[in-house]
Homo-oligomer: A and B are copies of this chain.
Amino acid sequence: MSVTVITYAVIMVRWEPDARGRLGKAAFELFLERGFEQVTVAEIAERAGLTERTFFRYFADKREVLFAGSEAFQALFVSSVENAPESAAPIDAVAAALYVQATQFMEHPAAVRRRQAIIAAHPELRERELIKLATVAAAVADTLRRRGVGEPAASLTAEAGMAVFRIAFERWIADPDGPDLDQVIRESLDELKAVATGRAAVTGK
């Protein structure tokens, strides 16, 4: 019985080696070449050397190719907050999660920038991304509450932390030759402290 199962698994792998990865790569290439709206699932499958049917085995639609990593993205935030030292202030637990995510992004900056270029060009995708980040913020707030943080502190820390991440990420994207993402996040966290306490300078009109 177990031999049968193993054999089947081997056949599956030989049949469509890394279908998900090939479909993702093909989709990203096509989105960047022609624009997200212009690309069909049939074209993505063709470029990947696979069928449409195989595409739909992995993704609900072409938009989902861009958001396939959302669950892992959220899980990384949540586990990083969970794993912060018990004595850490809520904002420091969230900051730790931002740095972990930044490290992940900095491992393949070109892919992150490519994805962002596609998202930024389409209002519908920007909205989906916004909703994704709001969902992560809610999950982070949940995690903080499980760590014993009360309300509204848990929600405020999660929302402010995700705002820092979003703003730092945009700054990092806008300046490919600028400082690393973790550095931009550090500066933004300091700036959040400054603005929240009314110490942000009005630099003159």
Q: Which residues of A contact B (CB under 8 A)?
A: 86-87, 89-92, 127, 130-131, 134, 146-153, 155-157, 159-160, 163-164, 166-168, 170-171, 187-188, 191-205
Contact = CB atoms under 8 A, between A and B. Distances in A.
Contacts of A163: 155-156, 159-160, 163
B150 A159 contact: no
What 10 A-B pairs are tightest by C-beta distance, nearest first? A159-B163, A196-B196, A89-B198, A148-B205, A153-B200, A157-B195, A150-B203, A155-B167, A193-B196, A148-B202
Contact of A148 (B157, B167, B204): B204
A197 B191 CA distance: 11
Contacts of A149: 200, 202-203
A25 B90 CA distance: 44
